[in-house]
Amino acid sequence: MAEPVFVLLSFLVLYGALITVLHRDMVVCALHLAGSMLALAGLFFILGAHFIAGVQVVVYAGAVMVLFVMVVMLFDLKRKNYILFSGGLWPKLASLFFLTGLIAGVFPLSLHLFHPQSAQALKTTSTKELSSLLFTEYVLAFEVLGILLLLIAVGVAVLCRPKREGPADVMNTKKKE
Amino acid sequence: MGSDFFEITVNFIKIAVIFLLMVQMVPLLVWVERRGSAFIQNRFGPNRIGPLGLVQNLADLVKFLCKEDFLGHKGRKNFFYAAPVLSLIPAALAFGAIPLSSPVTIQAFEWLGRSWGPYTFYFQSFVISIGIVFVLGVSSLAVYSLLLAGWSSGSKFSLYGALRASAQAISYELALSLSIVGILLLFSTFSFSEIIAAQNNPLQFYFFGKQVSIPFLPNWGIFYQPLGAILLFVALFAEANRLPFDLPEAEAELVAGYHTEYSGVKIIMFYMGEYGHMLVASALMVTFYFGGYTLWPFLTPEKLNLLFSSFHPSWNSILTSLILHGVFMLKLLFFLWVFIWVRWTLPRFRYDQLMDLGWKTLLPWALVNTIVTGVWIFLMRSF
C-alpha cells in the first residue's frame, strides 16, 4: 500500500517544484509550490512523522504560501517573464553559474542517500515524545529559533513603520536650517 | 482501509455517508437560517412552498440549476471553476476527522458460508493520530479557495473581498490555535477520542496536590477553560466568515465579495463550504468544551452498554453508538443555532475594529490563557 503512494507523492512533489520553476504565470507557480508543499506533507505522513506533516500543512501550505499567493495575485505579474526565457546574456550566465555551484555542492553530500541506512536520530512517531525531546534536549535551538523569529517580526515592524514627523524630527530640521 | 471485503465496504460506505451527512445539513441549515432570521426579525420568512416552507430550498435549487453559467471576459477559466470545488474540500476533510459517536465493535459472525472476524468501526471518516493538528491544517487551506475565487473572477470587488477574507483568516488563525492550547494542556493529548473519553467523568481536578471531585458535574472543558471557549468561538466565527465578521462579503461595500461573479451551482458550492465551516466549528466546540458525544452522567457509553446488555453484543454496540450520535447531533445543532442567532442579532464590525479585535484582544488573551493554564496546571499537580 505504502510504496505506490510514496511514488505518487514524490512525483507530485517534483512535478509541483518543476512547474514552479518553469511556468511563466506567477500565480500558477505559487499554487504549484503550495501543492508541492502539501504533497511533501503527505510524504512525511506516510513515513510516520504525523506531527511534522500536520505542522507542514499548517505553517507552509496554510500560512506562508497563502501570503505568497496573495501578494502575487495583488501585483498581477502575469506578463513579466523571467531570466530563463527572456533575460539577457549575463543573467543567464549568472544563473547557470549558481546552478553549477549548487549541484557541485549538493551532489557529493547527497551520494550516501542512494544507500539507505536506518535513521539514527528519532525512532519516535508520537507527538508526546517528540515534544518532550523538543523541550529538553533541543530546548536551546528551539528558543534561539523563537528569538530569531521575534527579531524578524520586530525588524519588519520597524522597517515598515511610516516616517512620522514627530517633535524630534522637527527639531533636527530646524537645527540644520 | 481494512483487511477483508466486508470491512473495506463498510469503511467506504461510512466515508460516503458522513460526507453526505455534511452536505445534507446545508439545505436544512439554509431553511433554519431563513426561518430563524424571520423569527428574530418578526417576519414570516419563506412559508409558501411545502409544510413550513421546507420545500423552498428545492425550488431554489431548480432555479440555481437553470442559471446561466457566466464568466467575465477578464476571468481565468480553470481557476474560476476550481475555486468552488476547493471551498468544499477542507470542510469535508476536517469534518471527517472528528468522531461523531462511540466506536462500533462487531463480534465475529458467520455469513455466506465463512466467518467474518471481529471488527471495530470508528464513527468518523478516518482516524488520524494528530486529529487536532490535522483539522487546523486542513481548515487553514480554505483560504485558497477564497483567494482563487476573488482573483480569477477578474473583478475589483471580488479581489477586494478575497483580500479581506484571506487577511482575516490568517489573522484569526493564530488566536484560534492558541485558544485550544489550554485544552490540550489539560487533557494532555492530541486525539479527539481521548479528549472525549477524559470528559466522560465527574468533574475532578487537583487543587494543590489534593484530588477534588464534584460528583454532579461532568468533566467538561468549559468548566476549566471558559475564556478559551469564548476565544475559540469568536475566532471560529471569523474563520467561517460569518457575521459579525462577514467583511469579505459586505454587501454595502463590495457587492457580494469574492463570489460576486459566480452564479448557479457554483455559488451553492460556496455556501456549502461556508456551512461546512460552521459544522466543523460547532463540532470542535462540542468536542473540546462540551463533552463530545457523551452526556455524563445520563448518557455515557458504559451506561448504554449496560442498558442494552440483553441484546447481542454487536447490536448493543450499534444501538449505543446511534444514541450517542443523537446526543452529539443535538449539541451540534445547538451551536449551529447560536451561529445563526448571532448572525441576525449583531451588526457587522468595521475592518479596523476587526483587525484590532484579532490582534490586540484575542491574541493577547489567548496567550495569557495559555501561560496561566500552564503555570496553574504545573503548580496544582506538583504540590
Residues of A in contact with B148 (CB under 8 A): 31
Separation of alpha carbons B108 and B157, rounded Å? 60
Which domain covers residue B189, as residue numbers? 72-382
pLDDT at site B58: 85
**Residue B162: closest CA among chain A residues belongs to which residue?**
A70
- Would you say residue B271 lies in a domain? yes
Percent of chain B residues topping a pLDDT of 90: 9
The yes-or-no verdict on residue A118 having pLDDT over 80 is no
pLDDT per residue as tens digits for the range B359-376: 888 999 999 999 999 898
B196 located within any domain: yes
Q: Cite the DSSP H helix spans in chain A.
A: 2-22, 26-46, 50-56, 65-75, 83-86, 89-109, 127-136, 139-160, 167-176
Smallest CA–CA separation between A29 and chain B, in Å?
Answer: 13
Confidence of residue A125 (pLDDT cuts 50, 70, 90): low
The pLDDT tens digits for B231-275 are 999 998 888 878 788 777 776 677 777 888 888 888 888 888 888
Chain A contact probe: residue of B86, B148, B189, B190 with most A CBs at under 10 A:
B190
Residue A87 has pLDDT above 70, yes or no: no
Contacting residues of B for A66, CB less than 8 Å apart: 140, 143-144, 147, 166, 169-170
| CB proximity list for A26: less than 8 A, separation 6 or greater | A72, A77, A78, A80
How confident is residue B334, by pLDDT bands cut at 50, 70 and 90? very high
Lowest mean pLDDT among A6-15, B51-60, B332-341: B51-60
Domain assignment present for residue B370? The answer is: yes
Can you tell me which residue has the cell 475589483? B156
* Residue whose grid cell is 482573483: B151
CA distance A87 to chain B (A): 27
Query: B133 and A51 in contact by Cβ < 8 A?
Result: yes
Residue B105 bridge partners (DSSP): B120
A162: which residues sit within 8 A by CB, 6+ positions away?
A: none
pLDDT at A177: 45
Separation between Cα atoms, residue B133 and residue A54, nearest integer Å: 6
Confidence of residue B205 (pLDDT cuts 50, 70, 90): confident
pTM for the predicted model, two decimal places: 0.82
| Number of domains present in the structure of chain B | 1
